[in-house]
Amino acid sequence: MDTTDFDWKPRFGMEFDSDEYAYEFYNSYGRRMGFNIIRDTVVKNKHKSEITSRIFVYCKEGFRPQVKRDVLVIKHRAETMTNCDAKLCIKLDRKNIYI
């Protein structure tokens, strides 16, 4: 493995100063790999309103729900969702919080 790859590829155990830094990192990785990301799930502490975890996913993640299609429509919109599992999950590490 090239040491320059270590700087821009996501790996287990990475630490970020905030969720915004994690978003910027994964967004730049996604651009290099040819995909866009979005912010998906967020979990916040009820009392302090701080983010305790967040998930960033590929922008075409998931599937559109199956709905009853109008029988009069001849050409339906193309499926754009791919159900890709590319994601970055981050969690707050309370051991490294400094007051």
Give me the tens of pLDDT residue by residue for the chain, a chain 99 residues long: 455 666 778 888 888 888 899 999 999 998 998 888 889 889 998 898 888 999 898 877 766 666 666 667 677 676 666 777 778 888 888 776 655
The structural domain count of the chain equals 1
Distance CA 1, CA 66 (A): 43
pTM to 2 decimal places: 0.68
- Cβ of 90: how many Cβ atoms within 10 Å? 21
Q: Can you tell me whether residue 40 is helix, strand or coil? A: strand
Supply φ then ψ for residue 49, to 5 degrees: 60, 30
Spatial contact of 59 and 35, defined as CB atoms under 8 Å apart: yes
Spatial contact of 91 and 16, defined as CB atoms under 8 Å apart: no
Helix intervals (H) in 1-99: 5-8, 19-33
Domain range for 12:
5-96
Spatial contact of 15 and 36, defined as CB atoms under 8 Å apart: no
